[in-house]
């Protein structure tokens, strides 16, 4: 297996690890902001997966220069999808943080267990 192939697997594994790290934070942390950070990590792992699959050996960014013949381009489609996904991610994050702020105002804490005790 050549270097590129190894790197391919390595990419996917890193994706898996980051995904799990993020999810772990979401599941196991009590602090709501920490949960949100974990969520954003979790999501960016998925971005990595998509972008990894768009790479073409010896390819360049899919921007067609005039008059240059026979270039290889990497796959533009996953990039488009991830552009969308990134913005979706940040939107969710903003909303979540707004909620956290309000929760902090109503409950005086942002630790989940304390909030549950409060009600």
Partner 1 sequence: MDLLAHLPALQVVVPMLSAPLIVLLQPRGLAWAGATASALVSFAIAVTLTLAVLDGQTLEYAMGGWPAPFGITLSVDALTALMLLIVTGASAIALLAAKPSIDQQIELERQPLFYSAWMLAMSGLVGIVVAADAFNIFVFMEISSLASYILIAGGPDRRALPAVFKYLMMGTIGATFYLIGVGLIYMMTGTLNMADMEARLGDVTDINPVLVAAGFITIGLALKAAVFPLHVWVPNAYTHAPHMVTVFLAACATKVALYVLIRFDYMIFQAALVDHQMQFALFAMPLAILGILVASAVAMFEGNLKRLLASSSIAQIGYILLGASFVSIAGLSASASHLFNHALAKGGLFLAVACLAYQYRDLRLSQLGGASKRMPWTCAAFVVCGLSLIGVPGTAGFISKWLLINAALQSGPWGWALVAIILVSSLMAVVYIWRIVEALYFQPPTEEGDVVAEAPLQLLIITGLVAILNIYFGLFPQVPLELANSAASLLWEGAQ
Partner 2 sequence: MIFVFAVFLLTLLVITAIAIVRAKDLFVAVMLTSIFSLLMAANFFILDAADVALTEAAVGAGVTTVIFLCALSLTDDREKPREGSRWIAFSTVGLLALLIIYATFDKPRLGDPEAPVHQHVAPWYLEKTPEYIDIPNVVTAILGSFRGYDTLGEVFVVFAACIGVLFILGVSPARKTKEVPEKDSGLRHHLIPQVVGRLVIPFIVLFGLYVQFHGEYGPGGGFQAGAIIATGVILYALLEGEASALRAIPRSVLLGMVVGGALLYGGVGVACMLLGGSFLDYSVLAADPVVGQQLGILIIEAGVGMAVCGALLSIYHAFAARERLS
Residue 83 engages partner 1 in binding (rule: CB under 8 A) = no
Instruction: Measure Cα distances from 76 to 23, 42, 58, 60 in Å.
Output: 28, 23, 15, 10
Q: Report the site for partner 2 in 59-118 (rule: CB under 8 A).
A: 59-66, 72-84, 86-88, 90-95, 97-102, 104-105, 108-111
Residue 39 engages partner 2 in binding (rule: CB under 8 A) = no
Measured from the CB atom, the residue of 65 and 113 that comes closer to partner 1 is 113
Residue 15 engages partner 2 in binding (rule: CB under 8 A) = yes
Nearest Cα neighbor of 4 from 69, 73, 59, 65 is 59
Q: Report the site for partner 1 in 52-81 (rule: CB under 8 A).
A: 53, 77-78, 81
Tokens 């772990």: give the residue: 24
Measured from the CB atom, the residue of 72 and 116 that comes closer to partner 1 is 116
118 contacts: CB under 8 Å, gap ≥ 6: 107, 109
110 contacts: CB under 8 Å, gap ≥ 6: 31, 32, 33, 100, 103, 104
Q: Which residues bind partner 1 (CB under 8 A)?
A: 19, 23, 26, 32, 35, 39, 42-43, 46, 49-50, 53, 77-78, 81, 84-85, 88, 91-92, 95-96, 99-100, 102-103, 106-107, 112, 115-116, 119
């Amino acid at each position: 297996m050549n270097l590129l192939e190894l790197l391919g697997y390595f990419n996917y594994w890193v994706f898996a690890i980051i995904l799990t790290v993020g999810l772990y934070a979401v599941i196991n942390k009590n602090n709501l902001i920490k949960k949100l950070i974990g969520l954003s990590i979790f999501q960016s792992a998925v971005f990595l997966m998509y972008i990894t699959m768009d790479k073409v050996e010896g390819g360049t960014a899919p921007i067609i220069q005039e008059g240059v013949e026979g270039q290889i381009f990497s796959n533009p489609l996953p990039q488009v999808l991830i552009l969308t996904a990134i913005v979706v991610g940040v939107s969710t994050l903003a909303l979540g943080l707004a909620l956290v702020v309000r929760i902090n105002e109503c409950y005086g804490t942002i630790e989940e267990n304390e909030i549950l005790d409060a009600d």
